[in-house]
Amino acid sequence: MTLIQLPYALDALSPVISAETLSFHHGKHLQAYVNNLNALLPGTPFEHLPLEDIVRQSDGGIFNNAGQILNHNLYFTQFTAPKAANHPTGPLAQAIDQQFGSFETFKAEFEKKGTTLFGSGWVWLSADKDGKLHITQEPNAGNPITRGLTPLLTFDVWEHAYYLDYQNRRPAHLAALWDIIDWDVVASRF
């Protein structure tokens, strides 16, 4: 497994996510999960499997590190430079409106799931085989792919994702993330 390259400069997401946070989050935290997994995989049945299959089939330390790599790969590649009035378009926007009533209602529900997740984990928007959308909380390294869902969008609520910039203010961090979502990337996963 190799560390993904960020598709933007370290300061591109500032002030929503600072260069310092991004540098630690990608260069230290994600790098550590990659190093851990590469140390654990040799000689196991998972050694030559794609990352998604490792996450679907493993448990214990392999699952924790593989899950965190998959989660962060989806997380880091969903961002772009801050935009005012940033919102989805096309079929994904229609599905959000249809299921949640409006984009504003969806955002409020998503933020609430992130704010109320106790401890470390992730909040996810995913789609099932019928195209129905789901917002779920996943503890620790969890990913809805393990229940047959297709992950579309995720907010990392581990403290390492926001503590340098927001300290204990997780809700403020989550509310700010909407400005840097690349909805074209999210829609392409739908």
- The nearest distance, CB 63 to Mn ion, in angstroms, is 16
- The nearest distance, CB 58 to Mn ion, in angstroms, is 19
Name the residue with the smallest CB distance to Mn ion.
156
116 token code pair? 């109320």
- The nearest distance, CB 22 to Mn ion, in angstroms, is 11
Quick note: the x/- pattern for Mn ion over 154-173, rule CB under 5 A, is --x-x--x------------
Q: With b meaning 16 or more CB within 10 Å and e meaning fewer, what string describes 34-48?
A: bebbeebbeeeebee
- The nearest distance, CB 72 to Mn ion, in angstroms, is 6
- Residue 154 sits at φ, ψ, to 5 deg, of -145, 145
Quick note: the x/- pattern for Mn ion over 75-114, rule CB under 5 A, is ----------------------------------------
- The nearest distance, CB 94 to Mn ion, in angstroms, is 31
Say whether residue 182 binds Mn ion (CB under 5 A).
no
- The nearest distance, CB 161 to Mn ion, in angstroms, is 5
Neighbours of 26 (CB within 10 A): 18
> Do 128 and 148 touch, CB atoms closer than 8 A?
yes
- Angle, vertex CA 108, rays to CA 13 and CA 116, nearest 5: 90
Judged by CB, which is closer to Mn ion: 63, or 158?
Answer: 158
Judged by CB, which is closer to Mn ion: 95, or 176?
Answer: 176
Residues 5-24 that bind Mn ion (CB under 5 A): none
Residues 118-157 that bind Mn ion (CB under 5 A): 156
Site size toward Mn ion (CB under 5 A) is 3
Residues that bind Mn ion (CB under 5 A): 156, 158, 161
